[in-house]
């Protein structure tokens, strides 16, 4: 069962976007994506809120997420959060192993 964590980073004067840019340019994002058990690590920008960035972070299981949290990259991420004075809202989801139904498929354009 995969774990997905949505992290909303909010700052002022474009700080959240600058944080995401520095995370990407510095190579931290690529390093996280290369970690065993990482399924997704992607930033998104809400159209209606220019001061917030959404990170969708998915892991194979709790052990993979715990290993990531114990990695040296977490100290880098914490420093950047402080640098940009970001505040966070976190949502955590477990994957649903239930297959989609034909009714679900009727609303999905592939």
User: For the segment 21-74, what is each residue's pLDDT rounded down to a tens digit?
Assistant: 999 999 999 999 999 999 999 999 999 999 999 999 999 999 999 999 999 999
- Cβ atoms within 10 A of the Cβ of 58, count? 19
Q: Is 26 helix (H, G, I), strand (E, B) or coil?
A: coil
Which pair of tokens denotes residue 53? 């960035």
Q: Cα torsion at 19, 23, 26, 32 (round to 10°)?
A: 170
* Structure tokens that stand for 85 in this block: 């004075």
- The whole model's pTM is what? 0.89
Which pLDDT score, from 0 to 100, does residue 22 have? 98
Q: What is the CA radius of gyration of the chain?
A: 16
């Amino acid at each position: 069962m995969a774990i997905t964590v949505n992290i909303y980073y909010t700052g002022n004067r474009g700080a959240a976007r600058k944080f995401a840019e520095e995370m990407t340019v510095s190579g931290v994002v690529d390093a996280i994506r290369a970690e065993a058990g990482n399924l997704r690590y992607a930033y998104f920008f809400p159209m209606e809120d220019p001061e917030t960035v959404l990170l969708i972070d998915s892991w194979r299981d709790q052990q993979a997420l715990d290993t990531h949290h114990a990695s040296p990259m977490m100290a880098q991420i914490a420093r950047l959060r402080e640098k940009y004075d970001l505040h966070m809202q976190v949502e955590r989801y477990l994957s649903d192993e239930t297959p989609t139904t034909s009714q679900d498929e009727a609303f999905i354009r592939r």
